[in-house]
Amino acid sequence: MRKGNGKTDVNLDLEHELPPAEGGEESASTSSLAKPAEVGVAGETEKLKAERDALLDRLARLQAEFDNARKRAVREQQEFREFAAADVIKTFLPTLDSFEHALKAGGDSSEFRNGVELIYRQFQDALQKIGVQPIVALGQPFDPRVHEAIEMVDTTEVPDHHVMDELQRGYKFKERLLRPAMVRVARNSHG
């Protein structure tokens, strides 16, 4: 046997191992030895081909399983989003009902105002239930992480670099900024 390239090759060099037969004819022992060796190599080749085919089949199955798992994860993620969105929408349905009642009531303007204030409170409660919090801005020191300065106003009525007016309320969802508060910031003139 001879080893080469990490594979085992069977090499029968019969001329060197056995003396030549008389008359130049191949002996019966030489021909019988060559055939099992050829069969052994062919059998080894078939065995390796079968192993390769089995590994390729296994690889194809694993790729299919991975692809199915990925598709299942995407589908489950989408279902979770839809479930979460449905839960949020349910939180706002009572507020929508109150708007409908307020629009149907056509009476006294004070009743209408009370109805709108009720709706506003319901809306604030619904936002709070899902984790949305307003950003406190008025009278606070200007914080560029949660406030967006629209204008700097020269004044001594409010401390320097403090929010003197809130034009649009900002909101956070848990710790994530949804939108900054749009504010006017005081600037004390030093002159």
Structure tokens at 35: 């055939």
Structure tokens at 151: 């204008």
The CA distance from 188 to 191, in Å, is: 9
Judge if pTM exceeds 0.85: no
Amino acid at 39: V
Please say if the pLDDT value at position 153 is more than 60. Answer: yes
Please say if the pLDDT value at position 124 is more than 80. Answer: yes
> Which has the closest alpha carbon to 133: 142, 143, 146?
146
For 132-191, CATH number? 2.30.22.10
Q: What is the pLDDT of residues 156-190, one digit of tens each?
A: 888 999 999 999 999 998 888 989 999 999 998 76
Give the gyration radius of the chain's Cα atoms.
42
Parse the chain into domains and list their residue ranges.
9-84, 132-191
